[in-house]
Amino acid sequence: MTGASLQTSTLSEEARRFREQIGDRQAFFETCEGGDAGSPEAPSIWLLGLEPGWSTADEKRENEAGTTALGQSGDYSVERQLDWPFNRSAFKLLAALHGEEPKTYVDFAQRMRPFEKGCTGFFKGNLFPEPCNKIDSWDDEHRLTTGFDTKADYQEWMRKVRFPIIRSWIETCRPKLVICCGLSHLHDFLTATHTDDVPERHSFVINGHAKRMHIAQSGTVPIAVIPHLTGPKGLNSDEAIAHVAEYIRSVLGWAKT
């Protein structure tokens, strides 16, 4: 029997709570890292990843300090975020989108406090909220937490249950821009953001490395699907981040600040 076919009565209490939380529209923000989702009158920039990274160092810190991987009930301060390569690159991208140099990311983050509880203008979440050490990770702890035997079953259930909730909150909050990190899940991002058409590919070369991205304005709000913010194929240089930011600003008509 696959995880997708498990009946509720066979689930652990932890898995039942997990599924109830994911299926509750009002609990959506509890399953995200945090920040300000914004409103049509004061729209935010959303950053959506595939899933939260969760290292052994994070696990140790969780056990010692009582923080949590899922949601923002733990410490998600800028100071903590600066420990993570992904968030440092995110700060560089946000700085560049605001007309600053990527290298000013520490000053930008300390001024603007992206994704912190109580911040304004920035929100961070993921398509799939269960944290994993690697994109293909799925072990006994994940099976116990979610009730799904395989990651494919878990992701398919998320597409049916979580994606409509993401779409509904995008419709409600009307982000200024949704930045989607992870080209391998382009179609998942299009579905989750209610973007009808596959956006045109923008190819570019940085330091001899070919990269691509997509910008779409055919959905509820503008989206940019970009490479991951870390890794050999990602936006792993200030030059690549600056190019992506400038291209987004150009396509969306954002004036220089």
C-alpha distances (whole Å) from 188 to each of 55, 71, 81, 140, 180 are 25, 21, 26, 25, 10
Domain range for 72: 1-76+115-174
Question: Which is higher by pLDDT, 43 or 57?
Answer: 43
pLDDT band at 73 (very low <50, low <70, confident <90, very high): very low
**Residue 195 has which token pair?**
């973007």
**Which pLDDT score is estimated for 233?**
87
Residue 119 lies in a domain: yes
Residue 170 lies in a domain: yes
Point out the least confidently predicted range of 45-54, 145-154, 167-176. 45-54
**Residue 245 has which token pair?**
């930011």
Section 158-181 average pLDDT: 98
Section 43-49 average pLDDT: 97
pLDDT band at 4 (very low <50, low <70, confident <90, very high): very low
SS3 29: helix
Residue 93 lies in a domain: no
Residue 165 lies in a domain: yes
**Which pLDDT score is estimated for 62?**
52
What is the maximal distance between C-alpha atoms in the chain? 56
Section 44-51 average pLDDT: 97
Which position has the token pair 């979440």?
125
**Which pLDDT score is estimated for 68?**
45
Domain count across the chain: 1
Contact status, residue 45 vs residue 177, Cβ threshold 8 Å = yes
Residue 236 lies in a domain: no
Residue 26 lies in a domain: yes
Mean pLDDT across the chain, nearest whole number?
89
Q: Look at residue 121 and tell me whether its pLDDT is greater than 50.
A: yes
Residue 2 lies in a domain: yes
Residue 193 lies in a domain: no
* Percentage with pLDDT > 90 across the chain: 78
Point out the least confidently predicted range of 54-58, 120-124, 128-132, 230-234. 54-58
pLDDT band at 149 (very low <50, low <70, confident <90, very high): very high
